[in-house]
């Protein structure tokens, strides 16, 4: 299914610099603290999953910025100086009238921030998380009051659910998974990831279950615990590798999507030039359903070379569950596509899932302008607008 092309590394998950800094400094014997937002509500500037690595001289990532972040960085550095290894979990309320736990910000909302000092014993776990984000192998990080920071590879994550029910502790997965098909991951990163997986501690039987579609899971209280899926939450497939596809991939590279581009044409220059995509594949559009996983975080944008191939693709994908399905084209073209789908036996309710013409109405004309209008619509859907 791969096109055999070579290309430079596409965008990595947003958190990778945090774990890269943490791993590098732990290897050098430099103390590191992890700041992690376990919960957020309202207009909190730090959203669930935001994180930072903090040393005496460096930081990577963000927990929301402003005076609140500054105070937490200083607190983390104080704890590192004092060699205080105890985790600290504290709510931050972004309202001036709050009776306690005021963050110093007035943007409303709340967030729970964890300060977790990391030690040399955490290096295998941190390295495994870093390697997984490099290779997009999948897995989870988990952290709790009892177990500290843990890494759950995909196989071990599933095993930990069964082990929790049986009251046993599964062994660590030392094999790992293959790098994503079509990915441009450096061999050194893949090798380091496999080594890190082998060295990471085994998951605890008490780790939270990983079988749900939730990207984040947080259980508050005295026995608090947190779990987060590693990698990109949202996967976007662009069906069609032309000029707008290339421009759209370049825009989305900065928006935390794992990008796949599919086309049925070999030797397509714009597909060869698409260095932002994590996966590029030449496929038969008649078989596209088999190449398209379904799921609540799957987005599909259809922009093939013409009306007929758009129709072939849409007839196969319209009944597949996903977050977004849209087609590029004029009002007249999209109306004709909908008419054809109705004649093919699709119901009005099914056809209503199809978005089109896609893109917010900003009078876009060039491929780059069209790409921005489509990206804005994708953000709108992602955020529930």
- Each of the 385 residues of the chain gets a pLDDT tens digit; together they read 344 433 345 888 999 999 999 999 999 999 999 999 998 877 777 789 999 999 999 999 999 998 889 999 999 999 999 999 999 998 867 755 556 555 555 566 788 999 999 999 999 999 999 999 988 888 999 999 889 999 998 865 544 444 443 444 333 332 233 333 333 344 454 455 455 554 454 444 344 444 445 789 999 998 999 999 999 999 999 999 999 999 999 999 989 999 999 999 998 999 999 999 999 999 999 999 988 888 899 999 999 999 999 999 999 999 999 999 999 999 999 999 999 999 999 999 999 999 999 999 999 999 999 999 999 999 999 988 6
The structure tokens 């300060």 sit at 115
Q: How many structural domains comprise the chain?
A: 3
Residues 52 and 68 in one domain: yes
- The last residue of one of the domains, among 81, 99, 118, is 118
20 found inside a domain: no
107 found inside a domain: yes
**CA atoms 4, 8, 11, 17: torsion sign:** positive
Q: How far is CA 163 from CA 78, 124, 169, 321, in A?
A: 39, 22, 6, 31
Residues 102 and 165 in one domain: no
Would you say the pTM of this structure is higher than 0.85?
no
326 found inside a domain: yes
Tell me which residue range forms the domain holding 197: 119-231
Structure tokens at 380: 């709108």
181 found inside a domain: yes
Closest CA to 296 of 324, 257, 268: 324
CATH code: domain of residue 302? 3.40.50.720
Residues 190 and 148 in one domain: yes
151 found inside a domain: yes
Structure tokens at 40: 């957020």
The structure tokens 């928006």 sit at 255
- The last residue of one of the domains, among 231, 246, 265, is 231
Residues 187 and 59 in one domain: no
Residues 257 and 351 in one domain: yes
End-to-end C-alpha distance for the chain, whole angstroms: 35
Residues 98 and 62 in one domain: yes
4 found inside a domain: no
Helix, strand, coil in percent for the chain, rounding step 5: 35, 20, 45
Residues 282 and 375 in one domain: yes
17 found inside a domain: no
The Cα–Cα gap between 96 and 81 comes to 31
Residues 260 and 361 in one domain: yes
Residues 258 and 301 in one domain: yes
The Cα–Cα gap between 185 and 177 comes to 14
18 found inside a domain: no
- The last residue of one of the domains, among 187, 213, 231, is 231
């Amino acid at each position: 299914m791969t096109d055999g092309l070579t290309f430079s590394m596409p965008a990595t998950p947003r958190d990778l610099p945090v774990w890269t800094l943490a791993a590098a400094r732990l290897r050098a014997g430099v103390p590191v603290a992890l700041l992690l937002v376990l919960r957020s509500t309202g207009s909190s500037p730090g959203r669930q999953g935001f994180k930072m690595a903090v040393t005496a001289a460096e930081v990577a990532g963000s927990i929301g910025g402003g005076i609140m972040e500054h105070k937490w960085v200083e607190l983390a550095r104080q704890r590192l100086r004092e060699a205080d290894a105890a985790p600290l979990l504290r709510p931050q309320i972004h309202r001036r009238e709050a009776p306690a736990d005021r963050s110093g910000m007035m943007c409303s909302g709340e967030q729970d921030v964890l300060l977790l000092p990391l030690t040399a014993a955490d290096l295998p776990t941190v390295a495994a998380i870093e390697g997984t984000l490099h290779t997009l192998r999948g897995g989870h990080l988990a952290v709790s009051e009892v177990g500290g920071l843990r890494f759950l590879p995909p196989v071990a994550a599933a095993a930990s659910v069964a082990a929790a029910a049986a009251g046993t502790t599964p062994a660590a997965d030392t094999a790992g998974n293959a790098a994503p098909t079509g990915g441009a991951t450096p061999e050194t990163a893949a090798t380091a990831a496999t080594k890190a997986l082998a060295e990471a501690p085994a998951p605890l039987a008490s780790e939270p279950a990983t079988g749900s579609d939730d990207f984040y899971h947080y259980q508050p209280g005295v026995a608090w615990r947190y779990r987060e899926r590693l990698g990109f939450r949202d996967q976007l497939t662009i069906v069609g590798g032309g000029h707008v596809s290339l421009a759209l991939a370049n825009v989305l590279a900065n928006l935390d999507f794992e990008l796949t581009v599919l086309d049925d044409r070999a030797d397509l220059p714009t597909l060869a030039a698409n260095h932002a995509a994590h996966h590029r594949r030449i496929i038969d559009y008649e078989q596209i359903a088999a190449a398209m996983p379904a799921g609540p975080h799957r987005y599909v944008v259809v922009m093939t070379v013409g009306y007929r191939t758009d129709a072939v693709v849409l007839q196969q994908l319209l009944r597949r569950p996903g977050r977004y399905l849209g087609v590029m084209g004029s009002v007249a073209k999209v109306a004709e596509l909908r008419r054809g789908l109705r004649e093919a036996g699709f119901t009005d309710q099914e056809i209503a899932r199809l978005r089109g013409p896609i893109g917010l109405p900003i009078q876009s004309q060039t491929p780059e302008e069209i790409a921005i209008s489509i990206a804005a619509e994708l953000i709108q859907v992602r955020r529930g607008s």
